[in-house]
Structure 1
Amino acid sequence: MLEQLNTFIQVVESGSFSKAAEKLFISPTAVMKQMNLLEKHVGMPLLIRTNHGIELTKAGKSFIKDATFMVQYFEEALLRMRQFVQANQLVIRVGTSMLNPCKVLLDMWNEVSNQFPQFKINIVHFEDDSHTLPTTYRTIGKNYDFIVGPIHTENLKEYFQVLELGTNRFCFALSRNHRLASKKTISVNDLYGEELAVVNGGGSAVIDEIRDFMIKNHPKIRIKDIPRLYDIDIFNRCEESGVVLLTLDVWADIHPSLVTIPSDLDFAIPYGLMYPLYPSEDANQFLEIIKEIRSQQN
C-alpha cells in the first residue's frame, strides 16, 4: 500500500505515467498497475487518463492531501523508531583473532539478528601472541564481552565462564614440502621418526592425554614440548623447521605454507564462548539468546 501511495504522489507531481516511471525507475506499465490496484483498494477512481497525461478526479483531489500526509507520517514514524532503537541499543563487543575467529558466533547471530534490533555487534581485534594472550583471557569483560574459540587454556578458566558450542578435532600441520603432505589422513604410525611439536602452555587435560598416549604407545615419535599457548609464531616456526605440529581442524587455513591433515587420533577439544564470570546485563541478555539458539540446534 505504501508503494502505491508513493507512486500515486509521483504520478500527480509528474503529470503522467511515463514521467513518473522515469523518476521511480520502473516501467510505465508497472505504474499503471499500481494505480489500478490503488483505485481498486479505495473503491473509486482517482485519476482521469487523457492523451495529454492525467488529471485528478474530485476524489483524487481530496485523497492526494491525505496520501501525502500518510507517507510523510510513516517516514517520520520510521525515523522515530530508528532513533529510539539507536538510543537504546545494546552494544556487544566480540573479540576476534586468527586463532579465535568470531565467525561461528556471527553465523549463529545473523540467523536471528532481525528479531533483536536492539543489539549491535562490535568486532574487536586482538593479537595471537603467547605473551599477551593470558592477559587477554584474564580480562574478558573489560575489552570484550565474548571471545569464541577452542577451550584449550584450562589454567585460565578461573577467569571466565564457558558456553560450549561444539568440538574441534585434532590434526597434524606440516610443511607443504614434507614427505607426508600429500596424504589425506595421517595416522600416528606415519609419524615414526618425526618430531612432533606439542603446545601445552594452557594446562589442557586433553593435550596432556595425547602427549602421554604418544610417549607410552609410540616412542618412535620424538615429542617436542612447547610450554606456551598456541600463537601465530608457533605455526611459523614449524613451517621453517619442518617439525610436525599437533593442531586443530579449525586452524586449517592459518598458515599458507602449511597443510593441515586430519589425524586418526580419537581426541577432540571443545570450542565455545568465553565470557566474564560476572557478565553485564546486556551481555547476559545476549548470552540467553545464544543459549536458546544452541538448544534449538540440539
Structure 2
Amino acid sequence: MKLTTLHYFVAVATEGSFTKASEKLYISQPTLSRRIQELETELGVELFIRHNHGLTLSSAGEQFLTEVSDVLKRVDHLAHLFDPQINSDKTTQILKIGYLQNINMSRMYELFERFKSNHPNVQFLMKQDTPMNLADGLSTDQYDLVFNLSTYFQANQTIEKAVFMKNHLQIAVPFDHVLSHKHELDFADLSQETFILLERQHSLLLSIT
C-alpha cells in the first residue's frame, strides 16, 4: 500500500468524483480509477458506491477514511519534525459535513469558500442525510458539522447551534378550516391535524386534509 494511493483515495472521497479528483491531482482519470480499484482489491472491500452521477463512500470507505486521515497526519508530522517553524503542520484536515436535501446549496458552498480562504488545508466530505440521522451522526462523531432542523436537537445535548437560515413553510387549508384565519402557525397548531407534506425542489408546502 503506497502513500500516494492513500492521497488519491482522500482526494476521490472529498471530491466525490473521479473526474474532479483527477484534475486536482493532475493525473488521468483511468489511472486514478485503476489505483483505487487496486486499493479495494488489496483491502478486500468496496470503498466507494458508484452512482450514475457520482459516488459516495461505503461504510467501509468511511471507516478507512478516518484511519487514512490519521496516518497521513502522522506522516506529515514526521516530515516536518525538525522544521524550525513551530506551526509547520500542513496536513489536509477533513471535516465531515452532513446536510438536508432541501438546503440552500449555493449559500452553504459560499460559506465553505469563505472558510477555506482562511483555512486552505481543510477539505470537506459532504453527505446528504435524513434529519434524524444527521442529529444522531453528530452525537456519534459521524459528522463534525450538520445542517439540520433545530427541532431535532434536544436542549440538553452538548451541541453548539447557530442559525444558518430560516425556512418558512406554506400551508394550504380549506376556506372553512379552523386554521384558515391565522396568518402564521406553529408546529404545535398542527399536532391534531392530518396533513400531506409535498416536497418541491427548494421549498415545502403543507396541505391540510
If each structure's strand is expressed as a fraction of its own residues, which one has the higher value?
1
| TM-score class normalised by the smaller sequence | 0.3 to 0.5
TM-score by length of 2: 0.38
TM-score (norm 1): 0.27
